[in-house]
Structure 1
Amino acid sequence: MMIRVPHEENPLLEHSEIFAARQCPFLCRLNKKKMMYYAFTMRFSLPSNARAINRLRILNIIATKDGLSRAQIARILGLNKVSTGEIVEGLIGDGLVVETGKVTTANGRRPVALSLVKDARSLLAIDIAPKATSFALADLSGTLLRFERSPNTLLAGESPEDALSRLIKGCRRLLDFIKNRQHPVGLAVSLAGSVDDEGCTVSIPSLGWTDVPLAALLKQHLDIDVVLVPRVTAMVAGEKWFSSVFSAPSVYYVNWDDGIDSAWVLDGVTASRGMSVSSLFTSTGTLAETASGMALSQRALSILGGDDLSLRVLLQKLPDIPALDGLMEHACVAMGEALATISCVSGCDTLVLGGALSGLPDSYFDIIQEKYAASSPQERTCVEIVRSPLADKAALMGAVASVLDLFMFRRSLLDQLDRQEK
């Protein structure tokens, strides 16, 4: 598909002509990166690549275990002290690691503690949900330094071209806050839509987007490496990076938001985007008809009046309006029944509820658990149902995690290599 961006209406896109998704130069670079990635993983035993892998391992352990000394790092990773020291010096020279003081020991020379310089680099993240777009500027620890959220005015008649211009403007506002104007390491965009195989174009039916070359547009106008991530995939990445909900061998993750989708994670690896949970039949209709955020908002508006209602506001109003209370109870019953079906089909060890509606009050969560137990065979009643600690920020934090993983720490690569060695 080809998209023409009108220059007069979009001054930020003044250098744009026609973007052909299949012929975009960014695709060539993206495909080269993919080929380099696979070649790198196959040849990691070469001395130069082995050193690069060790550098990543050392950087990651410093980031996750603050205050270790060079000797402790070498011992934990099974590396010799000389090469560990050389790599650490390189990380210090790059401004990523700093010496923070002496480590207390029982005897002998006191080693020097090391820490990640969290503000050494920054990154950008965008989450495009059905009703709103969130922007974030974060540091290397994933801490949000700046956060903005705006409604998707496309629903009120905004064109895709204007929406793209708005994304670029939002990113540039965040870039103004970067310390010392340092170039960010990358940008990730989580999307409530489908990304093509090349990772360049995206279709978001709820926003009226079809084959929009979003990565190419952002790359060209921001000069930042860009990765597009389906929203539920981003949520899983965020949970893996910033929470511990995937500690069990088999975890089924359900995103309960404006829409409902899922992912199945086995031994920390996303094995599948999951079944079509929104179309599961419950005693009150399909899960989407009864429990999706879109359906609940529409029914709530028929009670309260008005043009729009965010899920956050809906949850806030629940205790005060009996009609909304009954609406949410029906949704929780349907979700409990659906989770019972998912549990039986997948055989998972843990069920995780994420998304905006996972932050519902405890009394409603109790209804889900009770209905799950009543609808499950005896052997599945022991399966734990937990709520995401990231709640409605899971997708945005997943975009942050995607940048940290792909453009800085490469933990997915290290995990893959560890599995190969086993």
Structure 2
Amino acid sequence: MLDLNKPSTSEIVEQLLIEGLVEEQGKVATSNGRRPTALSLVSDARLVLGVDMGSRTTTFLLADLQGKILRFERLPTPLQPQPKQWGETIIRTCMKLTKFATTEIAGIAISTSASVSPDGQSIVSHEYWDWKDIPLAKAIEVHTKLPTLLVHHVQAMVEAERWFGKEQSNNFLYINWGEHIASAFYNGSSIMAEKSRFGHLPIAPTGLCRCGGIGCLETVSAGWALSEKHQGLSV
């Protein structure tokens, strides 16, 4: 999948072993040929800080390399957050969580439903907030001194499923059904997420969607639509 040759792979693995990020787990049984050596991540070699910018809540967590959550916090997301004020809140909360780190933090990953720049540094635009060309990752990196990356939220979910999910497959469609409906397709080598419009498939003749369309799937089954239908009750 990474298109690496054997010498390059060996060099990378050797460096990871030296840095203590991976460890050998013994030989793997095979029907023929040289038995390969299994490797696994050293869970406490580094920590990661994750932020999920949801439409109702924003979640912060500190986790190890195996996905074990060590610290967790959640804040209500303003209906229309202002970039400067909300960015400052995110920075403060990230700084707070870094104080609980027991080892080096590798970096910060921020998931968002917004359109993200190719380098993962800026929010290009947001479908529901008045955000445009906001260099959020750079601002957080300046204050925390940690490498920071923005990623589309469904892409982050697919990556998590690939790394930690029980079912292993080279091709699958992932659907996130919550406040909004989003999806991504993984084809074994790449993830197609941002351009997916699963929640906006036209299925009904009426019903105004938040995207401006009429009769989208979200208008009859997304969390926001069900909440409006049942007088504001959360789902």
| TM-score (ref. length: structure 1) | 0.46
Find 1:210's aligned residue among 132, 145, 153: 132
Please show how residues 360-399 of structure 1 align to structure 2 within 5 Å: none
Q: Does the Cα contact within 8 Å between 1:200 and 1:214 map onto a contact in 2?
A: yes
Are residues 1:292 and 2:198 paired? no
Q: Does the Cα contact within 8 Å between 1:254 and 1:260 map onto a contact in 2?
A: yes
Are residues 1:185 and 2:106 paired? yes
Q: Does the Cα contact within 8 Å between 2:47 and 2:105 map onto a contact in 1?
A: yes
SS of residue paired to 1:207: coil
Are residues 1:143 and 2:64 paired? no
Q: In the aligned structure 1, how far is the partner of 2:99 from the partner of 2:220?
A: 43
2:56 maps to: 131
Number of equivalenced pairs: 218
- Per-residue deviation, residues 120-148 of structure 1 (Å, max 9, x unmatched): 32110000011110000001211000111
1:385 maps to: none
Q: In the aligned structure 2, how far is the partner of 1:60 from the partner of 1:268?
A: 24
Do the aligned partners of residues 60 and 219 (structure 1) sit closer, same or farther apart at CA in structure 2, a change above 3 Å counting?
closer
Find 1:54's aligned residue among 2, 8, 13: 13
Q: In the aligned structure 1, how far is the partner of 2:148 from the partner of 2:133?
A: 17
SS of residue paired to 2:100: coil
Cα deviation for residue 251 of structure 1 reads: 1.6
1:270 maps to: 191
Q: In the aligned structure 2, how far is the partner of 1:73 from the partner of 1:197?
A: 38
- Per-residue deviation, residues 87-115 of structure 1 (Å, max 9, x unmatched): xxxxxxxxxxxxxxxxxxxxxxxxxxx98
Are residues 1:242 and 2:201 paired? no
Are residues 1:226 and 2:148 paired? yes
More strand by share: 2
Q: Does the Cα contact within 8 Å between 1:264 and 1:273 map onto a contact in 2?
A: no
More helix by share: 1
Q: In the aligned structure 2, how far is the partner of 1:281 from the partner of 1:45?
A: 46
Cα deviation for residue 57 of structure 1 reads: 8.0
Q: Does the Cα contact within 8 Å between 1:262 and 1:274 map onto a contact in 2?
A: no
Q: Does the Cα contact within 8 Å between 1:201 and 1:215 map onto a contact in 2?
A: yes
- Per-residue deviation, residues 132-184 of structure 1 (Å, max 9, x unmatched): 1000000121100011111112x2x65221100000111011111112xx431
| TM-score (ref. length: structure 2) | 0.79
1:185 maps to a residue whose letter is A
Q: Does the Cα contact within 8 Å between 2:182 and 2:197 map onto a contact in 1?
A: yes
Q: In the aligned structure 2, how far is the partner of 1:259 from the partner of 1:227?
A: 23
Do the aligned partners of residues 56 and 277 (structure 1) sit closer, same or farther apart at CA in structure 2, a change above 3 Å counting?
farther
Q: Does the Cα contact within 8 Å between 1:61 and 1:73 map onto a contact in 2?
A: no
Q: Does the Cα contact within 8 Å between 1:261 and 1:274 map onto a contact in 2?
A: no
Q: Does the Cα contact within 8 Å between 2:22 and 2:40 map onto a contact in 1?
A: no
1:253 maps to: 174
Q: In the aligned structure 1, how far is the partner of 2:165 from the partner of 2:176?
A: 15
Do the aligned partners of residues 274 and 265 (structure 1) sit closer, same or farther apart at CA in structure 2, a change above 3 Å counting?
farther
Do the aligned partners of residues 268 and 198 (structure 1) sit closer, same or farther apart at CA in structure 2, a change above 3 Å counting?
closer
1:198 maps to: 119
**Larger RCO (CA under 8 A, 6+ residues apart):** 1
Percent identity of the aligned residues? 32
Q: Does the Cα contact within 8 Å between 1:130 and 1:207 map onto a contact in 2?
A: no
Do the aligned partners of residues 273 and 213 (structure 1) sit closer, same or farther apart at CA in structure 2, a change above 3 Å counting?
closer
Q: In the aligned structure 1, how far is the partner of 2:157 from the partner of 2:168?
A: 12
CA RMSD of aligned residues (A): 3.1
Which sections of structure 2, spanning at least 5 residues, go unmatched? 206-214
Q: Does the Cα contact within 8 Å between 1:246 and 1:268 map onto a contact in 2?
A: no
SS of residue paired to 1:235: helix
Which sections of structure 1, spanning at least 5 residues, go unmatched? 1-40, 80-113, 303-307, 315-422
